[in-house]
Amino acid sequence: MSETPLRNNPVEHPASTPTRREVYEAGVRRRSNRIALISTVSVLLAIVVLVPLAPGWEAVQRAFFNGRVFAATFPGLLEAFFLNVMIFAWSAPLIAISGLAIALCRDTRAPALFPLRLFGIAYTDIFRGLPVVLVIYIVGFGIPGLGLPRPWNSPYIWGTLALVLVYSAYVAEVIRSGIDSIHQSQRSAAASLGLSDQDTMRFVVLPQAIRNVVPANMNLFIALQKDVALLSFIGPVEIFRQAGVYKSLYANFTPYVGAALIFLALTIPATRYADYLMNKQNRARS
């Protein structure tokens, strides 16, 4: 829509003069751009000028935006963030697989598989109802406490399991909603061709369902990226913990600001991308 005027490149179409409508729309666009610019600049100015006038600003600046502490701790934070990325990288596929498996459990209709269905329901109810930290504590300290030998008692293994347990419950629910969103007529069409229930699920329903829930799952995985930090409760020194260590060493909160920046550098693009996918899908549906 908005790119049409740009395409009317006068060099390419030397003969074409803009229509009355195009002239009008260009004027409107210029005016709204100008207003947007002015209001943005004045809000920013207000923040930059007014906030430092607050009586406690100097103390806040020293405690949260301390250049010296930032410079000293940022490289260490980046290094610790690598651990977050690693934990995320091995958790995410496990979550995707078990989330799908649980969604399928919940969708079984055969009476013989009723226990499976019951399991799926109980599983999603329980793990969506528990705070992640709690599961991390219970699984991360509890299971190794049963007397597993090293390296099988590693907090990385059990912490990862805790994340997988909780997040696959959410992913399962999202996938199930995707499965439910596929119209009955698709199943009818597959059945009328003589496809078995399993084939119908595998070739007709699931591919569409999963495609539909990609944006919703993207949001879950962005949340996961943040919740990886909770593994620090059972020992691993990832970025959040490292920032805490620096905070206590320097008696200064700037390392947290540094960690926040690192998180944002990753999650903002990911969130934008998820929104883009969501919008694209909504447009395609309408």
The footprint of other proteins (CB under 8 A) covers 56, 59-60, 62-64, 141-142, 144-145, 147-150, 153-155, 185-186, 188-196, 199, 203-204, 207-208, 211, 232-237, 241, 244-245, 247-253
Q: What is the CB neighbour count within 10 angstroms for residue 70?
A: 18
CB nearer other proteins, residue 35 or residue 260: 260
Rank residues 24 and 90 by Cβ distance to other proteins and give the closer one.
Answer: 90
**Shortest gap between Cβ of 141 and other proteins (angstroms)?**
4
The nearest distance, CB 196 to other proteins, in angstroms, is 7
Alpha-carbon separation of residue 1 from 18, 32, 115, 184, 272 (angstroms): 16, 17, 53, 35, 21
Locate 257 and state its tokens. 């600001």
Residue type, 63: A
Instruction: Look up tokens 């909770």; give the residue.
Output: 230
Q: Exposed, middle or buried: residue 166 (CB in 10 Å: 0-12, 13-18, 19+)?
A: buried
**Which residues, 6 or more positions from 235, have their beta carbon under 8 angstroms from its beta carbon?**
140, 155
Which tokens belong to 14? 């030397």
Question: Which of 106, 247 has the CB closer to other proteins?
Answer: 247
Answer yes or no: are the C-beta atoms of 83 and 239 closer than 8 Å.
yes
Determine the Cα–Cα distance for residues 151 and 163; give it in Å rounded to an integer.
19
120/144 with CB nearer other proteins:
144
- The residue among 8 and 235 lying less far from other proteins, judged by its C-beta, is 235
Closest separation in Å from C-beta 178 to other proteins: 13
| Of residues 58 and 275, the one with the C-beta less far from other proteins | 58
3-class SS of residue 12: coil
Q: Min. distance of Cβ 160 from other proteins in angstroms?
A: 14
Pick 154 or 267: Cβ nearer other proteins? 154
Measured in whole angstroms, the distance separating CA 199 from the mean position of its chain's CA atoms is 31
Count of positions (residues) in the chain:
286
Which is nearest to 144 in space by CA: 238, 234, 84?
Answer: 234
- Cβ neighbourhood burial of 10 (10 Å; 0-12, 13-18, 19+): exposed
CB of 156 to other proteins, least distance (A): 10
Q: Whose Cβ is closer to other proteins: residue 161's or residue 270's?
A: 161
Shortest distance, position 190 Cβ to other proteins, whole Å: 8
| Least separation in angstroms between CB 247 and other proteins | 8
Q: How far is the CB of 234 from other proteins (least distance, A)?
A: 7
